[in-house]
Amino acid sequence: MKSLVLALASLVAIYSVNCDVYFEEKFPDDSWESNWIYSEHPGKEFGKFKLTAGKFFNDPEEDKGLQTSEDARFYALSRKFEPFSNDGKNLVVQFSVKHEQDIDCGGGYLKVFDCNLEQKDMHGETPYEIMFGPDICGPGTKKVHVIFSYKGKNHLIKKDIRCKDDVYTHLYTLIVKPDNTYEVLIDNEVVEKGGLEEDWDFLPPQKIKDPEAKKPEDWDDRKTIPDPEDTKPEDWDKPEHIADPDATKPEDWDDEMDGEWEPPMIDNPDYKGVWAPTQIDNPAYKGPWVHPEIDNPEYVADANLYKRSEICAVGLDLWQVKSGTIFDNILITDDIEAANERGEALKKTLEGEKKMKNEQDEAEREKEKAEKPEDEDDEDLDDEAGDAAPVEEHDEL
């Protein structure tokens, strides 16, 4: 038993040693200004970030992050770190987003780059490895982007993942595994998972329709056919409309002035519609013809869809109509458990924010109530009195 415990302890130690945190940023102070680089790409009106915990928070220092500060601006800010590859390892990209401004239209995602990134020239068309995070624009777009670059082309996930659209901090986590599977989590809860090959269009389909195959000329896919023995009844054909038999010529009708009078037409109650023979089961029915498939000669399996040969930069490259989004707690690692632990700890932030926001809202309501003019209260009372039912007077007996 003792040897088993020691073996397990050794495995845990080996696992811990082999797990890496490649990049982590919590924006504790103003040092970010010297580590992160703004883009100076021409032709874009870029906005600035500021360090703040926002209007409501759990901890005024711990909850500080970078907040967009100018409306109707592009934002482009990035930081490089020691390059790595996730070859044979998990890849976890995690960060928190707080749309404190009740966002109407704007991005809340980040991008992961290789070392070719020119930070001062970063813009919307700059190649990236992964784009991940929420995007909101009006009631129609409230989704989580998961986009991978593969052979020079960006591939969007085929599934629709809904993001959070309230004003609180939420944690977004993307896990990519060496077996070509993935998970997307929001606040440490899995909201989507699957396979990279199935849920993206990285590769052409494995099977295609056989171009040589054609539907046989004698293939009968009619489930029913007209009954050949059914005949139309002799009294079937009736006009759809007939002259109203109850109509009479108006007394003031002048044939010379008004023309020859004709009674109005009405629906014929005896009209039966267009006759068609009844349908019977087709004795020659073979079912729907299915086009046979063959192996696609252009399909080549790729066991390394997950692999990013080089990652060494992360950036915020987005547009916002109304500013106020706070980005924080950026983590890039191969340690799923470490990411999960940080996620659990961040739940306290969400609880604290909600408590403080509720207190602020209640204080605002009390303030508005206290500032309400007295004559307005009197008018309300008068209105209530006026709306009351009149009291009937009765003579005393």
Binding-site residues, in ranges, read 109, 111, 128, 135, 317
- CA distance to 243, 246, 258, 264, 396, per residue, from 254 (Å): 20, 20, 5, 17, 75
Number of other residues whose CB lies within 10 A of the CB of residue 360: 12
Give the N- to C-terminal CA distance of the chain in Å, as an integer.
103
Number of other residues whose CB lies within 10 A of the CB of residue 296: 14
- Rounded to an integer, what distance in angstroms lies between the CA atom of residue 367 and that of residue 186? 36
With vertex at residue 171, the alpha carbon angle to CA 168 and CA 172, rounded to the nearest 5 degrees, is 125
- Per the DSSP assignment, residues forming a β-bridge with 331 are 24, 94
Binding site members for an alpha-D-glucoside: 109, 111, 128, 135, 317
- CA distance to 78, 98, 140, 219, 321, per residue, from 137 (Å): 24, 15, 7, 51, 9
- Rounded to an integer, what distance in angstroms lies between the CA atom of residue 77 and that of residue 124? 12
From the number of C-beta atoms within 10 Å of its C-beta (0-12, 13-18, 19+), residue 346 rates as buried
Inter-residue contact 325 to 318 (CB < 8 Å)? no
